[in-house]
């Protein structure tokens, strides 16, 4: 497939996992780094057909059974030294063996999907030698349908991952994190009935009345039904047994939004993350066609003037921003739920109530953990720095990424805001391309504010986002400000006089910080040491204290992270602005932030 054709995803759409039966394909796979894809797809037939020179005495150049071993999930870069800087095409192969019993069960169940929980950047997929789909949708779940008749006891699954940075891609060519390539998240087969509930997301909670034990609320459930069945006689049932809620509604179309009224509940909020078990069922003539279980929570976000409220109360963000990179000297993408939990544990040690999941969508487990732990979340697509908005492929991709991210996250009570950009330059087409994406997500999830992180030059002793002509400013409901006083500008000595102008919308600082290379001490007024990093944090915190209307702040970043842009003698390939080093070594600023958070209320009076 040529890149031209590949831009819009040819996967089968967002497939919510819930409690559906699934078959994990995680573990050891065969891997081959095909540099720049020199053989092309036609010449590589023997890869996905599984031929090899031993079976067939011809000049066959690949052999999936002679590939080297690699673990999935995980990037390829940190698994073998020779792949560290590899950014080309990686071929993955797995022989999938099913027992006769498993095969029968899968074939009788209905439909089968291959679900890739997240790849970077793009994939082409073959099942037993036949193409089953391609997509360019970095970091978000993909699903490809497999005809159950094509399942056998011995199968070959081949996936080509294309990790090239290209100007028209999202993210584009230049960014301050590491381009981890490969099948970075879990891979599984999922089975569904012929006609099934592809998505059921409860969201848009409105509090009608507060009372002592909680509140009476209403909300919406967005549903999407997939399958050929005539839906005119179908019903949807929603149950929340703990509060005795039961509702049935006739199905009118494939995509529906049902209103749930008068729910007497305890609210979900930071510090008290109450979750409820809900069951969504599709019925025809009284018979169950599909039924899924999921956890839901009830939380309302409001934004008015410069105030941000959660559950009707003014809210102060004590945030931590991070990259999805595991702890350890090598970095790399998390390879297990434990890797993810360790990062969240570390962030929570500061006493934060909010995570900025920068700068791209994270594994879905992050949202599940944050739902359970009562941490609010900012999710984000990688529209970052230089973008070719006018290119039709880019336009389409930005739209698809925004919609797909929100489809996956809107049902999570932890979501505080959806971000569609970080520090983007004003280039032709930005306003129309971004406007389209912002309008789409606002329709999809109107109860959640949309946002972006902006930078504003320091001038007249202040950072003032509204004074800059940011053509996308009008689309955001709340504003993220990235400012690096003490590090980029102004210098530390001038910071005591600095100010942040909160314009007409709620604003919080989404990034500030300074490099603090581990083991390096020095003078406070000289950069590149732990003492000046600490001094900059202290001055910054004083600045936030002076700015009464600020809705909170988020240091950049939890942990030092790999970045090929960072190549001086202190950095050595890592951005050193972390509160901790690569292995979790705490720097003095970790303590500064922890102390400050302990003195700040989540819900100030």
Smallest gap, in angstroms, from Cβ of residue 433 to ligand GCB? 20
Smallest gap, in angstroms, from Cβ of residue 314 to ligand GCB? 27
Q: Identify any residues that bridge with 68 across adjacent strands, giving them in sequence order.
A: 31
Cα gap 355→215, rounded to integer Å? 26
**For strand 196-211 and strand 478-482, is the pairing parallel, antiparallel, or unpaired?**
unpaired
* Cβ contact 599:577 at 8 Å: no
3-state SS assignment for residue 246: strand
How many helices (H) and strands (E) the chain has is answered by 9, 36
Q: Does 179 bind ligand GCB (CB under 6 A)?
A: no
State the burial class of residue 493 (Cβ atoms within 10 Å of its Cβ: 0-12, 13-18, 19+): exposed
Binding marks (x or -) toward ligand GCB, 254..293, rule CB under 6 A?
Answer: ----------------------------------------
φ and ψ at residue 439, rounded to 5 degrees: -60, -40
Cα gap 4→359, rounded to integer Å? 26
Give 227 or 517: the residue with its C-beta nearer to ligand GCB: 517
Give 297 or 516: the residue with its C-beta nearer to ligand GCB: 516
* Cβ contact 380:419 at 8 Å: yes
Of residues 500, 575, 579, 580, which one binds ligand GCB by CB under 6 A?
Answer: 575
Give 16 or 482: the residue with its C-beta nearer to ligand GCB: 482
Cα gap 222→236, rounded to integer Å? 12
Q: Which of residues 12-71 bind ligand GCB (CB under 6 A)?
A: none
Of residues 388, 482, 540, 551, which one binds ligand GCB by CB under 6 A?
Answer: 482
Smallest gap, in angstroms, from Cβ of residue 41 to ligand GCB? 34
Smallest gap, in angstroms, from Cβ of residue 319 to ligand GCB? 14
Smallest gap, in angstroms, from Cβ of residue 481 to ligand GCB? 10
Question: SS3 letters for 270-302?
Answer: CCEECCEEEEEEEEECCEEEEEEEEEECCCCEE
Give 458 or 556: the residue with its C-beta nearer to ligand GCB: 556
Closest residue to ligand GCB, Cβ-based? 176
CA 362 to chain centre: 3
Q: Which of residues 304-363 bind ligand GCB (CB under 6 A)?
A: 359
Q: Does 172 bind ligand GCB (CB under 6 A)?
A: no
Give 50 or 555: the residue with its C-beta nearer to ligand GCB: 555
Q: Which of residues 531-560 bind ligand GCB (CB under 6 A)?
A: 556
Give 422 or 451: the residue with its C-beta nearer to ligand GCB: 422
Give 102 or 173: the residue with its C-beta nearer to ligand GCB: 173
| Cis peptide, bond prior to residue 73, ω within 30 of zero | yes
Give 176 or 349: the residue with its C-beta nearer to ligand GCB: 176
Cα gap 391→362, rounded to integer Å? 26
Smallest gap, in angstroms, from Cβ of residue 556 to ligand GCB? 6
Smallest gap, in angstroms, from Cβ of residue 489 to ligand GCB? 12
Cα gap 480→509, rounded to integer Å? 6
Cα angle, residue 428 at apex, residues 427 and 434 outer, rounded to 5°: 80
Give 226 or 511: the residue with its C-beta nearer to ligand GCB: 511
Smallest gap, in angstroms, from Cβ of residue 341 to ligand GCB? 24
Question: SS3 letters for 217-241?
Answer: EEEEEEEEEECCCCHHHEEEEEEEH
Q: Which of residues 94-153 bind ligand GCB (CB under 6 A)?
A: none
* Cβ contact 181:120 at 8 Å: yes
Smallest gap, in angstroms, from Cβ of residue 404 to ligand GCB? 22
Cα gap 361→379, rounded to integer Å? 6
Give 169 or 577: the residue with its C-beta nearer to ligand GCB: 577
Smallest gap, in angstroms, from Cβ of residue 303 to ligand GCB? 23
Binding marks (x or -) toward ligand GCB, 507..536, rule CB under 6 A?
Answer: ----x-------------------------
Smallest gap, in angstroms, from Cβ of residue 577 to ligand GCB? 5
Cα gap 96→401, rounded to integer Å? 30
Q: Which of residues 380-439 bind ligand GCB (CB under 6 A)?
A: 422-423
Q: Does 577 bind ligand GCB (CB under 6 A)?
A: yes
* Cβ contact 137:13 at 8 Å: no
Give 160 or 577: the residue with its C-beta nearer to ligand GCB: 577
φ and ψ at residue 409, rounded to 5 degrees: -110, -15
Of residues 80, 176, 349, 591, which one binds ligand GCB by CB under 6 A?
Answer: 176
Closest of 511, 506, 407 to residue 453, by C-alpha: 511
Give 94 or 418: the residue with its C-beta nearer to ligand GCB: 418
Interface ranges with ligand GCB (CB under 6 A)? 176, 359, 422-423, 482, 511, 556, 575, 577
């Amino acid at each position: 497939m040529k890149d031209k054709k590949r831009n819009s995803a040819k996967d089968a759409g967002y497939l919510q996992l819930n409690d559906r039966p699934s078959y994990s394909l995680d573990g050891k796979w065969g891997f081959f780094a095909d540099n720049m894809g020199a053989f092309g797809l036609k010449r590589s037939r023997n890869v996905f057909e599984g031929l090899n020179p031993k079976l067939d005495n011809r000049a066959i150049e690949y052999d999936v059974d002679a590939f080297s071993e690699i673990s999935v999930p995980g990037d390829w870069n940190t698994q073998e030294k020779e792949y560290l800087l590899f950014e080309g095409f990686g071929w993955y192969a797995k022989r999938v063996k099913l027992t006769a019993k498993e095969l029968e069960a899968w074939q009788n169940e209905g439909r089968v999907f291959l679900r890739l929980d997240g790849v970077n950047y793009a994939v082409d997929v073959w099942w037993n030698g036949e193409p089953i789909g391609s997509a360019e949708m970095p970091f978000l779940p993909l699903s490809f349908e497999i005809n159950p008749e094509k399942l056998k006891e011995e199968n070959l699954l081949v996936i080509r991952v294309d990790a090239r940075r290209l100007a028209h891609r999202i993210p584009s060519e230049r960014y301050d994190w590491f381009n981890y390539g490969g099948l970075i998240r879990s891979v599984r087969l999922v089975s569904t009935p012929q006609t099934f509930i592809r998505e059921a997301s409860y969201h848009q909670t409105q509090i009608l009345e507060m009372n002592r034990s909680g509140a009476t609320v209403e909300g919406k459930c967005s549903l999407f039904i997939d399958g050929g069945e005539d839906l005119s006689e179908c019903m949807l049932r929603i149950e929340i047994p703990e509060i005795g809620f039961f509702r049935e509604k006739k199905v009118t179309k494939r995509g529906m939004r049902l209103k749930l009224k008068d729910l007497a509940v305890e609210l979900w909020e930071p510090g008290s993350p109450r979750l409820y078990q809900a069951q969504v069922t599709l019925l025809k003539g009284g018979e169950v066609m599909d039924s899924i279980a999921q956890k839901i929570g009830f939380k309302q976000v409001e934004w008015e003037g410069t105030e941000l409220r959660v559950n009707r109360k003014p809210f102060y963000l004590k945030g931590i921003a991070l990259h999805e990179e595991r702890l350890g000297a090598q970095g790399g993408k998390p390879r297990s739920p434990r890797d993810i939990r360790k990062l969240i544990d570390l962030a929570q040690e500061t006493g934060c109530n909010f995570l900025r999941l920068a700068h791209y969508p994270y594994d879905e487990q992050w949202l599940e953990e944050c739902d359970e732990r009562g941490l609010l979340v900012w999710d984000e697509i990688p529209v970052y720095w230089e973008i070719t908005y006018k290119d039709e492929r880019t336009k389409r991709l930005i739209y698809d990424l925004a919609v797909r991210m929100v489809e996956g996250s809107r049902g999570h009570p932890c979501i505080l805001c959806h971000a569609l950009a970080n520090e983007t330059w004003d280039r032709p087409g930005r306003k129309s391309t971004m406007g389209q994406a912002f309008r789409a997500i606002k329709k999809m999830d109107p109860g959640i504010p949309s946002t972006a992180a902006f930078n504003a030059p320091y001038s007249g002793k202040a950072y003032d986002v509204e004074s800059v002509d940011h053509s996308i400013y009008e689309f955001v409901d709340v504003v993220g400000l990235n400012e690096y006083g003490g590090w980029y500008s102004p210098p530390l000595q001038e910071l005591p006089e600095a100010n942040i102008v909160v314009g007409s919308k709620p604003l919080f600082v989404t990034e500030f910080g300074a490099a603090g290379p581990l083991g390096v001490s020095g003078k406070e007024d000289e950069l590149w040491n732990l003492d000046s990093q600490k001094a900059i944090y202290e001055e910054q915190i004083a600045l936030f204290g002076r700015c009464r209307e600020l809705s909170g702040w988020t240091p950049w970043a939890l942990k030092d992270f790999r970045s090929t842009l960072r190549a001086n003698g202190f950095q050595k390939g890592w951005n050193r602005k972390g509160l901790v080093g690569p292995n979790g070594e705490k720097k003095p600023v970790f303590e500064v932030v922890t102390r400050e958070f302990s003195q700040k209320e989540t819900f100030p009076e």
